[in-house]
Amino acid sequence: MFPRLLAALAAVLMAAVVASPAEARWLRAESPRFIVYSDGSESVLRAYVDKMEVFDTFLRARHGLPENGVPLRKLPIYLVRSRTDLQITWNGAGDAIAGYYSPGASDTFAVATLEDRKDSSTLLHEYTHHFMLQNFPGAYPAWMVEGYAEFYGETVIRGEFIEVGQVADKRASALLASRWIPMADLLANKQSPSDWSSFYAQSWLLTHYLMSDPQRFQQFQAFASAVGRGADPVQAMQDATGQTPDQLEQSLRRYVRSGLKITQYKRGNIPAPPITITTLPPSADDLLLERVQIVAHSYKDAAPGYLSMIQRRAAKYPDDQLAVLTLGQTEMELGDYAKGRALLEDWLKAHPDDAEAMYVLGTHLYDDAWTKPEDDEDKKKDGKGGKGDDDEDEDADAAPVIRTIADPAMMKDAEQWLAKAAGLAPSDYRILYAYAQVRRTQSDYPKKADMDLLIGAYRQAPQVVPLRFQLVNVLIARRHTTEARALLQPLLNDPHSKSIVAAARRLLQRIDDQERRNSPG
C-alpha cells in the first residue's frame, strides 16, 4: 500500500508540474475608477485597489467634488512583481525607476511594483497630476504643479487613517545638500536644468508650508486665483502672503527647522469599493507585459531576438486575442508587414466586432500610408512640398516634417477600419483620436462632426497632449477661440517640456492674431 501511495503522490506532483505553465498567474481587478492587473496574490491586489480608491475619494473630498464621482475612463494600472518586470513594459527604463505614469495617444496607464508597494509615492504623485488635469486644468506655475503632486504623493493610507504632509525624504535631503533657487526665480519658473533637485524640493516645501495652515491655505487659494486670471506669479505671491520673495524664503527655512506639520484624517464614511476579480487567459503570462511595451513605447531598438521571442510565445495561443494582436503589431513593426496585416485581417473575419483589433490594424495602416521618413527628408532638402497638416507637434523645436500620402488605398482602408471601430467603441478615446487623425487627410476636415469626435476623446483623456493640441487646432479653425485658449492654459508652464510650452504659446499667438483680424474696426 505504501508504494501505491508514493506512486499516487508522484502522479499528483507530476500533474501539477505539467499543468502549472498553462495556468494563468495574471488577475484583473476592476473597481469604479481603476482597472488593475497583477500577477501577485488576490489579497494584495484587493488591498492595492482599495488604497487607490480611498486616495481618489480623499482627493475628491479635499477639492469639493462629489465623493462618489467617477471618471469617464478608468485608469489601467499594471502591478508588477519587480523593477525587472517593469522594464519589460518599457525598454530602456533605468533601475532607479520604481513606477511610472504614461499618458499617450495609444493608451494612458500606470505601472507600479509590488516590491515597492510600501512606498507608493511615485504613483500617488503621478495620479495627483492625472486627477488635477481631469478635474482642475489651469495655467498653474510649474512649482505649484509639481509641489502639489509631491505634497499629496506622500499621503499614507493605513487602516482607518489617512496621513497628509509626510516628509519626502529625498526632498528634505536636497534642501540640506543643494543650493536653493532664489525664491523669485522659483516663482517665475526660471530654474535651469542643474537646479532640478532644488526645484522639486523647494516646490514641495512651499506647497507644504501653504497647505499646512488654514490662513496660509487661504493665501494659497488667493494666489492660484490671481495667477489663473493672468497675474504675475511673483507679485501675486507677495500680494497673497504679504511677504517679498526673500522674506518668503526665510519663512520656509524657519518652517523646516520648526518641524513640518502632518495632518491625520479618519477614513470615516469612505466605503469599501466594489471590486471584481477575474483571471486572465494563460497568454497573459507570456505576453501581457510585452504588449504594454508594444502599445506605449518605442521597441524598434529592442534586442535582435525580440521578434522571434514574440513569434514563439504567440504560437502557443493560436486563437487568443492577446496573442494575435501582439504578434500582428510586432510583425507589422519589426518583421513581415504583409504577414502581420494578414494575421489581423483574418482575425477580424472571424471576430467582426473586435474594435481593438480594428484599432490596431487601422492605426498601422494609417502610419504606413505616408511617405517614409527618409523620403520626407529628401523632399525637405530639395525644397519640395509642405507640411502635411497644421497640427502642432509635441517637439516644437524640431524642423517641420513633410508628410505626403504614398498609398491612398491604404489610407482609405485605415479610415474604414477606424470609422467602424469608433462606431463600436464610442467611449474609447484612443480609437476616437485615431479616427480623427485619419479624418485630417480629407478635404472637408474639420467638420463639426470632427470637432465633436475630438471633444469626446478629450473628455476621456485630457492628460494626452497631442490630443489636446489637435482639438485646439480644430477649435481655432472653427473659430471657437475662447475654448481653444482655455485648453492651452495648462500647457503654458509645463515643467518637463519646453517644446510643449513653445507650441502652446505659438497657438496662443495664432488665436490672438485671429481675434484681432475678426474684431470690429
Report the C-alpha gap between 42 and 74 in whole angstroms: 20
| pLDDT tens sequence across 321-375 | 999 999 999 999 888 999 999 999 999 999 999 999 999 999 999 999 998 765 5
pLDDT range class, residue 14, cuts 50, 70, 90: very low
Backbone angles phi, psi at 37, to 5 degrees: -105, 135
As a dihedral over the C-alpha atoms of residue 169, residue 175, residue 179, residue 184, rounded to 10 degrees, the angle is: 120
| Residue listed under C-alpha cell 488635477 | 132
Closest residue by Cα to residue 464 from 446, 425, 437: 437
| pLDDT tens sequence across 66-92 | 999 999 999 999 999 888 999 999 887
Report the C-alpha gap between 507 and 521 in whole angstroms: 24
Rounded to 5°, the CA angle 266-42-106 comes to: 90
Report the C-alpha gap between 217 and 417 in whole angstroms: 51
Rounded to 5°, the CA angle 220-221-227 comes to: 90
Report the C-alpha gap between 136 and 225 in whole angstroms: 12
Higher pLDDT, 361 or 18: 361
- Could you tell me the CA-to-CA distances from 43 to 49, 236, 249, 416 in Å, in that order? 10, 49, 46, 44
Higher pLDDT, 498 or 383: 498
| pLDDT tens sequence across 189-203 | 887 778 888 999 999
pLDDT for res 4: 43
Report the C-alpha gap between 103 and 469 in whole angstroms: 14
Report the C-alpha gap between 518 and 476 in whole angstroms: 12
Does residue 152 contact residue 209 with C-beta atoms inside 8 Å?
Answer: no
| Packing angle, helices 214-228 and 233-241, rounded to 10 | 150
| pLDDT tens sequence across 435-469 | 999 999 999 999 999 999 999 999 999 999 999 99
Rounded to 5°, the CA angle 380-496-225 comes to: 120
Higher pLDDT, 6 or 55: 55
Domains and CATH numbers, the chain: 27-266 (1.10.390), 287-518 (1.25.40.10)
| Packing angle, helices 245-258 and 196-211, rounded to 10 | 80
Q: Is the pLDDT of residue 387 over 70?
A: no
Higher pLDDT, 178 or 397: 178
Mean pLDDT of the 370-394 span: 47
Q: Is the pLDDT of residue 291 over 60?
A: yes
| Upper half-sphere CA count for residue 78 (Cβ side, 13 Å) | 29
Report the C-alpha gap between 306 and 314 in whole angstroms: 12
Radius of gyration of the CA atoms of the chain, in A? 26
| pLDDT tens sequence across 156-165 | 998 899 999 9
Question: Is-above-0.75 flag for pTM?
Answer: yes
Beta strand ranges found along 240-290 (DSSP E): 263-266, 276-279
Does residue 465 contact residue 500 with C-beta atoms inside 8 Å?
Answer: yes
Q: Is the pLDDT of residue 473 over 90?
A: yes
| pLDDT tens sequence across 259-286 | 888 999 998 889 899 999 999 999 999 9
Pairing outcome for strands 75-80 and 34-38: parallel
β-partners of residue 111 are 78, 100
Mean pLDDT of the 486-492 span: 90
